[in-house]
Structure 1
Amino acid sequence: MPIYLKKFQDFDQLAKTFSEDLHFTGKPVFQPTFILGCGTGQKEYIKEKLASSHGIAANLKFLSATGLLNYVLEGLIAEGDEVLLDMEAMSWKIFQLLQTEESLAVLEEVKKYCDGSEQKRMGLAVKTAQLFIKYQEEVPDLLREWQENKNKPSDWQEFLYRKLLDSEKEVADKTLSLEKLKKALEKKDNQERLRTLIPEVYLFEPEELSKSERELVKMLAEHLNINSYFLEVCSTTIANPVSSNWGVYGVNKIKELEKSAEVSHERSATSGNESLLIKIQTDFFNDSEPDRNFTAKEKDNSLLVYNSFTRVREVEALYNYLVKLVNQNGDIGARDIMVVIPNLHSYIAPIKTIFETTGFRFPYSIISRGFTPEDSFWSSLEQVIKFSEDQFTASGVYELVENKWIQEAFGFQDLDKIKLAIDRANIRRTYCGSKEDESHYSSWNYGLKRLIYGYSLGSETEIADPEDEREQMYPVDFAEGSDAQDLFRLYEFVEMLQSLIAEKNKTVTVAKWEAFCLQTAENFLNPEGWQLKKLQDLLENIRTGKSVSALEIDFSTWFFRFRELLKSEDVGRMTAGGGIIFSGLYPGVALPKKVVAFLGMNFREFPHKQIKIDFDKSNTSSNIHTDRDRYAFLKIFQNAREHVLLSYIGQDAKTNSEKPSSGVVDQLLDYAKNYTDQELTVKHKLHAYNSIYYPGDYRYFTYLANAQKAVIPKKVKEEESVEEKQDVFLFELVNFFKDPFKAHYNKTLGIYYDDEKTLRDTELFGLEKLEEWRVKQEMFDRFIEEEIEFSAEELKIEIEKIRKQFVIEGLLPLRKRGLKYLHEAWPKVTALKRALKNRAAANPKKQNLQVEIGKYVLYGEVYLTSRGEGLFFTVSNHKEKYRLEAYLKFLTLKASGTSDKLIYFALDKDQVVEKEILDASLSVEDARDILYDFIKMMKENLEELKAFCLDFGSIEEINKLQNKEDLLKFIKNKIDTYEKYERGLYPSKYFLNEHRRHNYFYSDYFLNNYKDQCYKVFEKLNQSFPA
């Protein structure tokens, strides 16, 4: 019987004909339909079409050519237990052969390379198996020569190949299996059995068949029907300048099959209203020269090229492009869109970030070969199972806790609180640590105990360590009520991780590693049923045969093979109605879509580059892989119905220099010039908020920015309403004036840069300026209401007690390094404490204050002397922010009628500075009015960011600023000074973000606003508390 090769211009027509052919056979629904050559997306598309026309799509058996060959051999050959080794089975076979005494004695070169490493041996076995399968297709004469050679093998590859052939039950060469099938089919009863076993075969993507696979198809076609469906995208004459370059791979391949096939053509009707895209597609298909009588319409956007700076900007631009298309074309939906990316894995994160966080949500599916590094079950399994002792750090464990699969499996609720708890408990690295070097204080085991004891006791008072009563422990009272459940979940999770690491240190059989993997998946990830089944199937692929199951190997070797297999397998699942399809760019993904976008079309990234192995004996040209990639691109391009977008990274984000695109982009743009003078390339800006996108034109537009909220006037009741008092806290007011930018970001925008910092994974080795200040502050707070007079021996004991507590709490480096900082800080702290005691006559006491100021109620705390005078003290240098803080506390004392005076203490160059704030001209009502104005400034800042930075200078300096250029220069000098001498402590990230990224100060309006805010603050401050 001939092979029926049916050619189609349109994939819909192809699917329709396949459906009719299947219906025409009249086969029972319970009889399998054997289909070869479909990609994942095509499988789902064909199932959908069959279900639409037949009402059901069942019992479809999708096979590879090797799978079909094994299926036939198993059904025909009497002994039946003889099987063709696939790549995985062959890899394990070679892995075992490389360790035999005979191999070690003969293969000196290989022995030297492996050097006793199981992982190197496995890597070499996999590469060798891949080559042997490649030789079967490309250099079968070489294998035949090795088979017939009765002399000593010429090299190590021939030695291993001949050893593989020695197996009685396993066949290492597909050509040998084909010969066995050919002999088997010489018998008439086998021919009948074949027709019963497989009545018909349906073949898609026939141009992708290898030489041996074509031979198998021809062999089967002698006895049963082979229906082949070919999506024709260009003429076989390949004379068009572009299609001749892109289509040569498919044309040459299909010509081979046509020699033994009965060919038919199914033409599709062409559209009467031609766009630039359709005209180019028609030229490619008909192999015609450019039509000089055709000119594309103005603003024909059927073909566009986007030039971006980064992958994120590529995806943002794609999102905007799709939203606009859907808005303008009511007949385009998410299911009509396909996005193809040569290097899909590197785009997963941007796709998820943008398509799942923007206002208009598109449903989408990702089709990938192998698992993707997105937050999926498969990547999560890899992340857990490869977790090692070196990763037992604060950030390493927290990264696992953040994983959505682990969150759901363990029930973690509040990740922010878990992160804060880890930091508060000084958890840095290792599970246990060592008491000798004090690293156990920063271990997971010790830190979690501190958290649990803190919750149980409800206090942070020091206790004796229940496991060693000679040691003191400082519990961390962090969680209350249901929040504590996360601590117990975290404890269980960490204990399970420690057990997992212990298991991985063993050397066990492959079968036991399989059980270990399944158990890990169930314990840590709680997989769905289909995922667990898929995992079991994958593990069975590793454990091919009893000899492999019983093979003892270490974890690293087993995991190396498991991960490689996971990467090569199709473990994703495309759900029905999956919306936009994101796919890699390879054969078998072409689908009829109204909109097709190509991302990542970068120079040197597409077509893919193939690196040939040094010991590869095939004569394959690297051009064949390049031709195959171009042909896959052409098939997808020709299946676009209305719009094609090509995108690449064409601008360097650091240097702003130009970067080239893939050759296919350049070729397409050159060809398009035959039909249009329009510039088809859109050069996008580095940032999505660039002013060019607002309000936007037909090329530059954005849908990413949040829409402004409509101001809806509230309906006022006719009857008089009582205005509720608003609570304001003194610390909140102080923090606002210290950094208005931070207050606006935190309170209005909900952005907290401090929360985004990564957890520290090591103990402190030294203290930065901020950390030195914290140690002094903690010491001072410890003794603020206590005596500090100690004998020399008592002081030594007290210092050691403080040192150990601070080490446990993560405030100091270990051992002598930490002791040095305490000895340096102690004299400064005691000097400030003595000055306070001398002035206050006794230890100061904290007083709670409450003041009604118009519609606000201000709450605060201020220290008082025994005589009722206010106190303010800081272990820091005398700075503007502390001067203003003291002034606000003075105003609160005055407004509440508590005191007319506040005494100010600070350390300036390690010397105690003492000042009085006493303003006899200030009345209680005046104090309340000033506080009201300050509170009003804070409230206004929540609505609109106010330009004010307390540490940036006096009124005299500000008065010198005449224009925005003066202001920018002034700010730059201040920032440079702080970064040089203050080690980046101030100004904050929030200020720098507005200054450097958002150009906040680039206007005269903000200069005037800045001056106005400074006058309001400094005028009152200097009147009562001169600088």
Structure 2
Amino acid sequence: MFQVYHSNSLLVLKDLLAEIIRRQPISDPFQAEQILVQSPGMAQWLKLELADSTGIAASVDFPLPASFLWQLFSAVLDDVPERSAYNKEAIAWKLMAILPELLEQDIFSALRHYLENDEGCYRLYQLCQKIADIYDQYLVYRPDWIEDWEQGGNLAANRHPWQPVLWRALRQYTEGLQQPHWHRANMFSAFVKAIKGQKANGKLPPRLFVFGISALPQNYVQALKALGEQTDVHLMVMNPCRYYWGDILDQSQIARMNRRWFSKPDLDFADYAEGNPLLASMGKLGRDYLDQLQETSTEEIDAFMELERETLLSAIQQDILDLENPARFPEQIEHSLDKPMVSEEDSSLVLHSCHSPLREVEVLYDQLLAMFAGNAELKPRDIIVMMPDVAAYAPYIEAVFSNAPAERYLPYSISDRSNRQENPLLLSFEKLLTLNRSRLTVSDVLELLEVPAVMRRVGLDEAGFQKLRFWIDQVNIRWGMDSDQRSLWDLPLFEQNSWRFGLQRMLVGYALGEQSDYWQGVAPYVEIEGLEAELLGKLADFIDLLDQTRAHFGQARLLPDWIEVINALLDNYFQPDEQDEISLNAVRNVLQSLQDQVVDAGYNEPLSPVIIARYLSEGINQQRSSQRFMVGAINFCTLMPMRSIPFRVVCLLGMNDGAYPRSIPPVGFDLMTDYPRRGDRSRRDDDRYLFLEAMLSAQDKLYISYVGRSIRDNKEKIPSVLVSELLDYVAQGYALAGDEKLDYNASGQRLKEHLQTQHPLVAFSPKYFSATGPLFSYAAEWLPAVQLTAEPVPPFIADPLPEEPVQQLELAQLIRFLKNPCRHFFNTRLNINFSSYAVAARDEEPFALDNLSAYLIKQRYLEQALRGHNLDLLDQTVLAEGGLPVARAGELPLGKIRHDCTELAEKVKPLCTGEAKRIEIDQVIAGVQLQGWIDGCYPDHLLRYRPAQVNARDRLATWVEHLALCACNYQKGTVYRGLSGKVIYRPISTDEARAHLSDLIAFYRQGLSSPQAFDAGSAHEYFKQQGKDPEKVIQVLENRFYGSAYGSGLQDDPYVRRAYPDFDSFLQGFLPLAERIYAPMLAVIEEGDDD
């Protein structure tokens, strides 16, 4: 008996299945019930539902259709192998073996042209994969073509006549391997004959259920129909409509027919489109499947469930069930009285427009909290959240859901992520497979080394890893193993900034010690000593291992050799824990599968590294770490077939234009596109039907969100065409209660606006915390930020902190304070440090010399020049350190640095007459013991010099030292020399110096109680602009505060930004402090030009 059950509810079909099992149990208690499903998720749901209905769900198997039928064929037919000789993988490897021998034939000229210059046979591998996939589709959807080709025909192959020839060669090659001739094209017909010939008695299951599968190929249906002649087959179909809907047309089909065919006057093809527009547009997959079932002439049982039109969602579902279109003749409707009314309180269908996927998830979280708050019976397991690609949304889901506080925590589970997406070990393994094509940047190597399993194998802890990161940056390693590897990118042979270069610097520096200088072309790095040598050795061993692996993946090998290499790779790089061992077993399983396929295909040619890497990467990505679907939490999963399980709330994220429905460009030589048939699979048609199924499976609420605004410029973005169709359908057929008197289009637009919610760019928008607006948020942590945006920004510290006693003060500490009073306040009084000491990996060799590096080199040159040392050796050392661009690009700026510093040394030397003394400062000033040492005190003056332009902070620091010396009766004056120009500080009296120091110490005390609005550079610019238009002066100061495209501003300093968020708050305190702190210095200095 072959019986088909139609219902618009999976719950009804489930009840029918449970009742059949209860009333008609299998006579053999050891025989398992066979229920075909299309996904493990459906099997899990059905198992739980059966257990709930019958009290237990034991001795029930849930095979997938393809695997079940293969087992059935194996039981009925002779010599059916466990694994088909014509599965997609076997076909691909066999084509790899036979196709090169056929390319010389004229019929294969197109393929021969494509495979020209095929390095490593990678194009051949890709082509064979594509052809194998096409042949696999033919076996299922065009078995008549395959049978004709095997008989010597060329059916349907006019455009690509090589395909039948290649198939026959494949068939002959397979027979030569002594493998069975069975494949899916001939097995179905053989199976049907065996059933009709009574040759399958005793080999068939006593009963078979086919539950809720959206579509099956025609030969699958025929096989099940034949099976129904010998045993009971119950085919339970989810049918959204109770009436026959195989002949309804969507608007695009109608438009094509009107363009293509001449018709009689007054005849409109739209007359044939009676029915529901949503069903016509989105239901092609189900429509074709139901047509196939109609052709079987079977007994059918209808079990449709009526829906109450209590909500908009249920009304839409009932429209589809009844094949109705509420907007059948919109041109005949003058007002909205004839439209069904929708209550403003109806939230069964909602759409949310956001600016980014992260905002989609944040909005979803708040909406879910509102659902739970409004319905105490709603449970997390009643909600499913689906999206086109769960991997793209997984980081945002983890960020939002896992970081929620305990009082707002919602249990959740993410399904459909591959092993690679969940385990960094597998990502690192894939990187190792492509080392021969990697630039081996610092980031690449550190990401490998940072994987816990790799760190355990190398013997590193976190502290050791961070030290290695610091050393690598210090020795200027950037990328490349050595000069030989760089030549692979057609670059000149240069060792600088490579791993060999950096390791050599570290090893030589450790061997020669601190006294080492330039040695045989190497600039030793001398900061590694003692027990740190062990850590350096671990790095050297790891780099050597990478180099060996790179060499292993540089040539083609036979598969047994590759297996040996990859197993050694796993052992050498990873020391797995229990969870890692599961991941490594996934790699070994893929390797075993590859070996089985290659052996079965009889392929004995060497495989290139790129083919091995591609196969293993794809194999790992296809595996799933776990299927946590239906675990009692909110389910996040990819939109895929048979996720139309009934849920009270169905949420769809990422319904963006272009992202859904998904589309895959057709293969150019796919003959099925030339000769399409009803029932052919299409990704776009599948996705359309999935959307329809999701809409029908929502029992209480359908929640849709999409990126409707650009995060960059706020421009509007349209949603998926499916969302637009749903909105148009609702607008044409329904109206909000109270809009009865509006015209047809106006009421539709009002309903659209009511269903859609546009969310702000950020989660802390004041709109979410307004008592009158429709938006809301449960994230109370954003409330302080909202209150700040709604009110004027208060000062960072409204009242100064209590004064701290200052009894002793180091002169250097006073200078540090004057250079950045805000930073000193945060660091010293609040013990807050905003600075980040993380070393960022640099992956490119230097192409230009940055200002800081140039200044540090200038300091070295100036000191050596003043001491009269040979600068040629310093030239060699600096070039060998790798901090400069390669070759002439580095030699030219270095030459200018040497020239400038030599000139400055010549100007400084005359100022160094006599013996320089170091004077101790130990004075009680304003009740504070001011202490410190000042060196560079010559008989005639204090000397300061710097290989740069004299800046305002240097002037102020020298001013403090000048005051301290004058306060100690050192009345000699001060000279500050820069690269161009000099500053001379005239001596002042002891009393005047002490008075100035007293005021600076008082300013220091103030700076411990509150952040001070003072900046030496701004003060210098302020006095430089004196005498000009006051408004222009203020504009100059504002530009310096905010910065520009040509340089950073004070606000780029996190300490200043925190204390003074805007220019006005800074300016108010700055002007009097500039007069107080900087002006006295200007009264005693003289600017001098170069001598």
TM over 0.5: yes
TM-score, normalised relative to structure 2: 0.77
Any residues of structure 2 matched to 1:610-689 within 5 Å, and which? 610-618=664-672, 619-620=675-676, 624-673=682-731, 674-676=734-736, 677=751, 679-689=754-764
SS in 2 for 1:129: helix
Q: Show CA shifts across 1:485-507 (max 9, x none).
A: 87665444433322221111121
User: What does the per-residue CA deviation read over 1:64-110, in whole Å, with 9 as the maximum and x for residues that have no partner?
Assistant: 43322332333344434483521111111112111236766763332
CA distance in structure 2 between the partners assigned to 1:856 and 1:215 by the alignment: 101
Give the direction of change, closer, same or farther, for the CA distance of 1:427–1:297 in structure 2 (3 Å limit). same
Matched residue, 2:543: 494
2:525 to 457, 467, 475: 475
1:586 alignment partner in structure 2: 640
Q: 2:146–2:185: 8 Å Cα contact kept in structure 1? A: no
Match of 2:610 among 547, 550, 556: 556
> Distance between the aligned counterparts of 1:955 and 1:1014, measured in 2?
10
Aligned partners of 2:32 and 2:940: how far apart in 1? Answer: 94
Whole-angstrom CA distance in 1 between matches of 2:910 and 2:312: 89
Partner of 2:952: 880
State the partner residue of 1:774.
856
CA deviation string 1:553-605 (max 9, x = no partner): 11112323333444555555437748433322221222333443322212232
2:659 corresponding residue in structure 1: 605
CA deviation profile, 1:122-163 (whole Å, cap 9, x unmatched): 111111111112223443333333222269997211111112
In the alignment, the residues of structure 2 paired with residue 335 and residue 488 of structure 1 have an alpha-carbon distance, to the nearest angstrom, of 53
**Stretch deviating more after TM superposition (68-77 or 208-217):** 68-77
Give the drift of 1:192: 0.6
Task: Give the 3 Å change call, closer, same or farther, for CA 700–464 of structure 1 in structure 2.
Answer: same
Given the superposition, is the C-alpha separation of residues 969 and 1025 from structure 1 closer, same or farther in structure 2, using an over 3 Å criterion?
A: closer
774, 777, 784: which is aligned to 1:698? 774
| Residues 320, 704 of structure 1: 8 Å contact kept | no
CA deviations on 1:183-228 (whole Å, 9 max, x unpaired) are: 4445656321233xxx444434422212222223223333334344
Return closer, same or farther for 1:150/1:811 CA change in 2, 3 Å cut-off: closer
In the alignment, residue 538 of structure 1 is paired with which amino acid? V
- 1:334, 1:580 within 8 Å by CA — same for their partners in 2? yes
> Which residue in the other structure is 2:846 paired with?
764
The structural deviation recorded for 1:1012 is: 0.8
Counterpart in 2 of 1:1024? 1081
Q: Hey, what does 1:317 align to over in structure 2?
A: 363
Question: 1:718 corresponds to which residue?
Answer: none
Give the match for residue 829 of structure 1. 901
Shift, 1:357, TM fit: 5.1
Of the three residues 203, 217, 223, the one matched with 2:224 is: 217
Give 1:828 deviation, angstroms: 3.0
Q: Tell me, yes or no, if the aligned pair for 2:313 and 2:348 is still in contact at 8 Å.
A: yes
C-alpha RMSD of the superposition = 4.9
**Aligned counterpart, 2:476:** 426
Task: Tell me the residue number matched to 2:741.
Answer: none
Q: SS in structure 2 opposite 1:581? A: strand
- Larger mean CA deviation between 584-593 and 984-993 belongs to 984-993
Of stretches 842-851 and 596-605 in structure 1, the one that deviates more from structure 2 is 842-851
* TM-aligned CA deviation for residue 617 of structure 1: 1.1
**Alignment of 1:534 onto 2:582:** no
Question: Alpha-carbon deviation of 1:911?
Answer: 4.0
Q: Check the 8 A contact 2:1039/2:1049 in 1, yes or no.
A: no
Instruction: Specify whether residues 213 and 307 from structure 1 end up closer, same or farther in structure 2 by C-alpha distance, changes over 3 A only.
Output: same
SS across alignment from 1:194 = coil
- Describe the SS at the equivalent of 2:435: coil
1:45 equivalent in structure 2? 45
Q: Which amino acid aligns with 2:90?
A: A
| 2:94 maps to 1:93 | yes
Question: What amino acid is aligned across from residue 304 of structure 1 in structure 2?
Answer: V
**Counterpart-to-counterpart distance in 1, 2:445 and 2:215:** 45
Residues 1:954 and 2:1022 are matched in the alignment: yes
Are residues 1:136 and 2:139 paired?
Answer: yes
The runs of 5 or more residues in structure 2 that have no matched partner are 246-274, 327-336, 737-750, 788-802, 1086-1091
Partner AA of 1:683 in structure 2: Q
Tell me by how many angstroms 1:114 deviates: 0.8
Cα shift readout 1:615-640 (whole Å, capped 9, x = no counterpart): 22112389954332111012122323
Kept in 2, the 8 Å contact 1:975–1:987? The answer is yes
2:200 matched residue in structure 1: 190
Report the Cα distance in structure 1 between the residues aligned to 2:726 and 2:827, rounded to whole angstroms. 46
Shift of 1:914: 4.6
Over the matched positions of the two proteins, sequence identity in percent amounts to 20
The equivalent residue for 1:181 is: 191
380 and 181 in structure 1: CA distance in 2 versus 1, 3 angstrom threshold:
farther
> Residues 900 and 133 (structure 1 numbering): CA distance in 2 closer, same or farther, change over 3 Å?
farther
Counterpart residue type for residue 611 of structure 1: P
1:528 counterpart SS class: helix
Cα deviation for residue 397 of structure 1 reads 1.9
What count of residue pairs does the alignment treat as equivalent? 979
Is the counterpart of residue 865 in structure 1 residue 937 in structure 2? yes
The residue aligned with 1:444 is 499
Cα distance, 1:175 vs structure 2: 1.6
Q: Quickly say closer, same or farther: Cα 1:764–1:753, change in 2 above 3 A.
A: same
Matched position secondary structure for 1:767:
coil
Against the structure 1 CA distance between its residues 520 and 132, is the aligned structure 2 distance closer, same or farther, given a 3 Å change threshold?
A: same
Matches within 5 A, 1:25-64: 25=25, 34-49=34-49, 63-64=63-64
Q: 1:206 to 1:578 in 2, by over 3 A?
A: closer
Offset of residue 991 of structure 1: 7.1
> Secondary structure of the residue that 1:134 maps to in structure 2?
helix
Within-5 A mapping of 1:812-823: 812-823=884-895
1:338 aligns with: 384
Q: Which moved more, 1:667-676 or 1:910-919?
A: 910-919
Unaligned stretches of 5+ residues in structure 1: 711-720
Paired with 2:154 and 2:317, the residues of 1 have a C-alpha distance of: 58
1:385 match: 433
Measured against aligned partners, the alpha-carbon deviations of 1:103-122 in whole angstroms (never above 9, x if no partner) come to 66763332221125211111
SS at match of 2:703: strand
SS at match of 2:219: helix
Report if the CA contact (8 A) 1:728-1:856 is conserved. Answer: no
TM-score (norm 1): 0.81
1:671, 1:948 → 2: CA distance?
64
Structure 2 partner of 1:1007: 1064
Q: Counterpart in 1 of 2:261?
A: none
Classify the secondary structure of the residue corresponding to 2:480: coil
State the Cα distance separating 1:429 from its structure 2 match. Answer: 1.6
Shift of 1:287: 4.1
- For residues 348 and 426 of structure 1, what CA distance do their matches in structure 2 show? 36
Distance 1:68 1:857, change over 3 A: farther
Q: Distance in 1 between matches of 2:212 and 2:530?
A: 62
Q: Which residue pairs with 1:226 in the alignment?
A: 233
Partners of 1:961 and 1:484 in 2: CA distance:
64
Q: Which amino acid aligns with 1:883?
A: R
**Deviation for aligned residue 1:700:** 5.4
Whether contact under 8 Å (2:102, 2:108) holds in the other structure is: no
* Aligned equivalents of 2:1036, 2:768: Cα separation in 1: 29
Deviations 1:744-773 (A, max 9, x none): 79999976578585x333332332444433
Q: How does 1:851-930 map to 2 (within 5 A)?
A: 863-865=935-937, 872-887=944-959, 903=974, 905-908=976-979, 910-915=980-985, 920-921=990-991, 927=997, 930=1000
CA contact (8 A) 1:600 1:648 kept: yes
C-alpha distance in structure 2 between counterparts of 1:34 and 1:243, whole Å? 32
C-alpha contact 2:208 2:232 (8 A) present in aligned 1: yes
Distance 2:643 2:418 in 1: 15
CA contact 1:5–1:261 (8 Å) conserved in 2: no
Moved more, 337-346 or 631-640: 337-346
